[in-house]
Amino acid sequence: MIYLDNAATTPMLPEVVEAYEKATANFFNPSSLYQPALFLRERCENVKAKICKKLGVNFDGNFIFTGSATEANNLALFGLARKNFEKILVTEGEHPSVYNSALALQQQGYVVEFVPLAPNGEIDYVKLDEMMTPSTGLVSVIHVSNETGAVNDLARISRIIRRKNKSCIFHSDGVQAFGKLSFILGNFGVDAYTISAHKMHGPKGIGGLWVRDRKLLKPIMHGGEQEYNLRPGTENTANIFAFEAAVNALSVMDYDKLEKVCSAFKNNLSPNIKCNLQQHSPYILSITCPGVKGETLVNMLSDKEVYIGTGSSCSSKKVGNKSLASMGLKKKDIEGSLRISFSKLTSPDLAARAAQILSEAYETLKAKMK
């Protein structure tokens, strides 16, 4: 099996599984008042501090664990939006959890506008500047596109936003960036940032939202006082400690390794297959196989135990790919697009082999479609 759909999810590392199993034995509820529970609560806070340190931001009771990154994005958009905002801006290339939340805000009466992407896959900075007004209250821009791997320049976006409105809240969905790119979030001028564990070899069922000042946020679910009254529900301690193990396993060497893996894949691709972006995260590669449907190739490769995706798995049921369309790709090319996504567990040799298998399948299919 060659698994190249790591933007959908990644396998848990053995040390993550071990941490998870160990943590399930400690069954106490961190909200209880006796010693073992208090100890557990403190450990959860330490995990948050560790994550914030990795992100490059201060931790001051301003990191909230959620049940998924989708929930964290919902909490960000609905929890940060205020009725007096004149406008909310998000990009056309957001993950459905931001995009559809923005549409829902629109239905609630907010003015929401969608900033297009430039042909290089990043947000169109000029358009953003044009659309940004002094009373725009909230901007949400994905850090690394889950569909194309394009990396948005958050510092630049922050400058554009602040020039118009110093107090505008800036949220970014960092699910495909955290643990994969080397950056200091504190330098970007971001107010809220979403992360996920299972995209970086952690467990499913846990995400998180860092927020610069938790007073900016109001809860979207109501219940107990967990997570500073911002996200009720008993903490999923096993997932929290497994997440910690995944964070511990991050290495500064990962990025360089991934560049080699991605290059090995590209170097073995048929010259008829096009890469959609020149510059992108080495973890995600968007390609177009002209003249065929991506889904057919996914099926053909699946029979050879090579697993890839057509786009974001959270939106793969729908025809098309929002990001590629916003970048200006033609419908035909979007139909033939595929998303290849790697992890630190992918070897350059396997990536090369997968590219060869894909290229062969593509040429066979193209000959039949002529």
Partner 1 sequence: MQKVILLRYGEIHLKGKNRGSFERLLLSNLKDSVAGFSCKVENRDGRYILSGFDENQTEEIASRASKVFGFVSYSLADKIEAKTEKIEEYFRSFFPQQFAGNSQFSVQTFRFEVKRADKTFPVHSDEFASHLGGIVLELFPHLKVDLHKPELTVSVDIRLGGVCFISTEKIACHGGLPVGCSGRALALLSGGIDSPVAAFMLAKRGMKLEFLHFHSYPYTSKEARAKVVKLAQIVRAFTGKTKLHICSFTHIQEEIHKNCRGDYMITIMRRFMMRIAEKMCLAKSMSAIVTGENLAQVASQTVEGLASTDAVLEKLPVFRPVLAFDKNEIIALANKIGTYQTSVLPYEDCCTAFLPQNPLIKPNLEKVEKEESRLDIEKLVEEAIAGIEVEEIE
In whole angstroms, the minimum distance from the beta carbon of 357 to partner 1 comes to 14
Q: At what angle do helices 348-369 and 294-303 cross, to 10 degrees?
A: 120
Contacts (Cβ under 8 Å, ≥6 apart) of 71: 207
Record the tokens describing residue 74, joined without a space: 């919902």
Question: Contact between 318 and partner 1 (CB under 8 A)?
Answer: yes
CA–CA gap between residue 201 and residue 11 (Å, rounded): 5
Q: How many residues line the site for partner 1 (CB under 8 A)?
A: 13
Cβ proximity to partner 1: between 153 and 295 the closer is: 295
Tokens of 320: 């098309």
Crossing angle of helices 254-267 and 348-369, in 10° steps, is: 30
Three-state DSSP class for residue 137: strand
List phi, psi (to 5°) of 322: -60, -45
What span, in angstroms and rounded, lies between the C-alpha atoms of 193 and 363?
A: 42
State the minimum distance, in angstroms, from the CB of residue 10 to partner 1.
23
Q: Which stretch binds partner 1 (CB under 8 A): 148-156, 168-176, 253-261, 314-322?
A: 314-322
- 255 residue type, one letter: Y
Q: Which of 83, 215, 222, 317 binds partner 1 (CB under 8 A)?
A: 317
The piece of 86-94, 209-217, 317-325, 336-344 that touches partner 1 (CB under 8 A) is 317-325
**Which amino acid is residue 208, in one-letter code?**
G
- Asked whether 114 and 102 are in contact (CB, 8 A), the reply is yes
Q: Which of 319, 328, 331, 349 binds partner 1 (CB under 8 A)?
A: 319
State the Cα–Cα distance between residues 314 and 323, nearest whole angstrom: 13
CB of 317 to partner 1, least distance (A): 6
Cβ proximity to partner 1, 67 vs 320, nearer residue: 320
Give the span between the Cα atoms of 254 and 200, in whole angstroms.
11
Q: Which stretch binds partner 1 (CB under 8 A): 83-91, 311-319, 323-331, 334-342?
A: 311-319
Q: Which is nearer to partner 1, 126 or 319 (CB)?
A: 319
With a CB cutoff of 8 Å and minimum separation 6, the contacts of 144 are 150, 151, 152, 174, 175, 176, 177, 180, 181, 281, 283, 284
Nearer to partner 1 among residue 272 and residue 299 (C-beta): 299
Site residues for partner 1, window 251-310 (CB under 8 A)?
293, 295-297, 299-300, 302-303
CB of 319 to partner 1, least distance (A): 8
State which residue, 315 or 341, has the beta carbon closest to partner 1.
Answer: 315
Minimum distance from CB of 111 to partner 1 (Å)? 31
> For residues 184 and 369, which CB has a smaller minimum distance to partner 1 in the complex?
369
364 binds partner 1 (CB under 8 A): no
Contact flag: residue 368 with partner 1 (CB under 8 A): yes
137 backbone dihedrals φ, ψ, rounded to 5°? -95, -25
Helix, strand, coil percent values for the chain (each to nearest 5): 40, 15, 45
Q: Pick the piece of the chain touching partner 1 (CB under 8 A) from 77-85, 105-113, 176-184, 315-323.
A: 315-323
Q: Which of 304, 286, 309 is nearest to 353 (CA)?
A: 304
Q: Tell me whether residue 279 or residue 299 sits nearer to partner 1 (CB atom).
A: 299
CB 296 → partner 1: shortest distance, Å? 5
Q: Which residues of this chain interact with partner 1, rule CB under 8 A?
A: 293, 295-297, 299-300, 302-303, 317-319, 368-369
